[in-house]
Amino acid sequence: MNIVCATLNAKYIHMNLAIRYLKAYAQPEFDVKLVEYTIKDPVLNIVTDLYQRRPDVIGFSCYIWNIEETIKVVKLLKKAAPNIVIVAGGPEVSYDVREWMERVPELDFIVIGEGEETFKQLLFALEGRKEVADVAGLAFRDGDRIVMNPQRNKLRLADMPSPFRFPEDIPHLPNRIIYVETSRGCPFSCQFCLSSIEVGVRYFDREKIKDDLRYLMKHGARTIKFVDRTFNISRSYAMDMFRFLIDEHVPGTVFQFEITADIMRPEVIEFLNKEAPPGLFRFEIGVQSTNDEVNRLIMRKQNFAKLSRTVTMIKEGGKIAQHLDLIAGLPEEDYNSFRKTFNDVFALRPEELQLGFLKLLRGTGLRLRAEEYGYVYMDHAPYEVLANNVLSFDDVIRIKQVEDVLEKYWNAHRMDETIEYLVTDVFPSPFDFFQQFGTYWDERGWARIGHQLEDLFRRLHEFLRTCAPDALPVAESLMKYDYLRNQKYKPRKPWWEEKTEKTTRTTVYRALLERPEVLGEDFAALGLGEKELFKHTVVEIVPVDVGRYIAAKQLSFAPTAIVAYFDPSGTGATVFSAPLSTLFASSASA
């Protein structure tokens, strides 16, 4: 029997964990072949490739991000090859199973819930060694009748085989995100999340996990993401894994975790700040809302003061990047409440702030109670909220405008000093800056076109010139600083119209050749001669002492030379600055 397990990933860099567990669990009795595509691949191309593999059985791994494209594949494949047995499984089809069987008659079977044992038992049944009616956790067709067998008991995870030991995966490990499970389930009951449905937390064998991680690192894995819903629910377990990864990691490997920040003890953070190499770990923290009443309605326990303490301690340690999540559209969180939530969280200055929108997932408590809160949401995946009783579609559109520019201008870290100035000193709050800019962005149709780096600077400049002209002298100075410091090579043409006269630039260079120490010891240590100075630096005169602002957040209006030195090796820019009065006074006294 020729068996294929397939999925459509959101991106090529993803590597589906579920189908690898199915393959590992089906061995040695069955040899399952794995095939992965992306949701961007043409449906006919996918169907053609699957058809040419001549499978007897195909199992599809289904999620909210791939279900609609997967259905197209299933329907076309069944037309081309009616005799192929098609099985669907995964979180998207494990709820409202009868509806899925009716909506997609091309599906022969649906595996409900945890699928490893059910899928293997189904393969035995298809070989004639077992009755389909006896396979727990399976939905199937009996003529025109849809039959749904009771779900099976949970697997003992400690006995699970490794999903990582397939030779065909080895060449891809360095270039893909590798997902690792150390537990299943979640101790919390957040009503928007599928994990709340499974009671309790079960763990895989710790030593087997460590062996898998050694194997993955040995074979070049660079990004390993733990998919546990709350990695640090057991402090002793988390500490043991942190210690292991610190001691045995291969340089260049990054580990990502979803953690619950308000239960993380200060001594754990102190340990990580002291022991973890910079860049080894990355934490994803779901905040969702800082409104206590909203959290109560979704059965989410959260102490924002403790969460803030954790995020702040980690940030001060400077070792671990943090990604914080918000969800717009939660029950009773209106536009003003969400504005406060955003500002509360932005005040922590996370490296990334992800603004997402509530999705009414099948099987979740919020979807079951959608009418209670007046939810209007998409009929098809991803079931994203359009409005509710306190948040209009107009409000949703406005918040989406915030999301667009937040991603481009904060999460990308292209102009941190500029944004810091704008959200602190110019606009009433961070949210107000992103909202006003996002609305301006959307009204000009920029959301529908692509952008080069220079375009992003020009568009912010245009917005400020129109909506906050008094801030432009400082903002433009900081934008030039941000632009230069983030370039790897000397730019041929910057985003601004160069205003510094050639004679002024020549005077600055002459002063630097005579007294390079005026820009500090690091600049003097470069030992640049006249040729190197002209070839490898950019000089721009701005009206603000940017060095003072960046060091102490103090504004001082004084004509200042920004000097960006670009290392010939392409390692990037180092930016120096000094007021012209200091620069020329030093030159004159020499």
3 state DSSP class of 249: coil
pLDDT in tens, 385-406: 999 999 999 999 999 999 999 9
Write down the pLDDT at residue 480. Answer: 96
Residues in CB range of 571: below 8 A, 6 or more apart: 488
What are 7's strand-pairing partners? Answer: 36, 61
Q: How far apart are CA 96 and CA 110, in angstroms?
A: 11
In this prediction, residue 505 has a pLDDT band, given cuts at 50, 70 and 90, of confident
Which DSSP category does 384 fall into? B
In this prediction, residue 504 has a pLDDT band, given cuts at 50, 70 and 90, of confident
Indicate the residue type of 516: P
pLDDT in tens, 458-492: 999 999 999 999 999 999 999 999 999 999 999 98
- Tell me the DSSP string of 102-117: HH-TT--EEE-SS-HH
What are 384's strand-pairing partners? Answer: 359
User: Which has the closest alpha carbon to 89: 81, 66, 1, 40?
Assistant: 66
* The two three-digit tokens of residue 367, written as one number: 């979807």
Torsion angles phi and psi, residue 51, rounded to 5: -60, -45
pLDDT in tens, 134-144: 999 999 999 99
In this prediction, residue 590 has a pLDDT band, given cuts at 50, 70 and 90, of very low
Write down the pLDDT at residue 499. Answer: 67
157-358 belongs to which homologous superfamily? Answer: tm_1862 like domain (3.80.30.20)
pLDDT in tens, 405-447: 999 999 999 999 999 999 999 999 999 999 999 999 999 999 9
Write down the pLDDT at residue 570. Answer: 82
End-to-end CA distance of the chain: 87
Which whole-number Å values give the CA distances from 401 to 46, 274, 390, 438, 441, in the listed order?
35, 40, 19, 5, 8
Q: Which residue has the tokens 């959101």?
A: 10
User: Which has the closest alpha carbon to 565: 531, 539, 530, 529?
Assistant: 539
Write down the pLDDT at residue 500. Answer: 67
Class of domain 3-149: alpha beta
Which DSSP category does 374 fall into? T
Where do the DSSP E strands lie in 103-158? 109-111, 138-142, 145-148
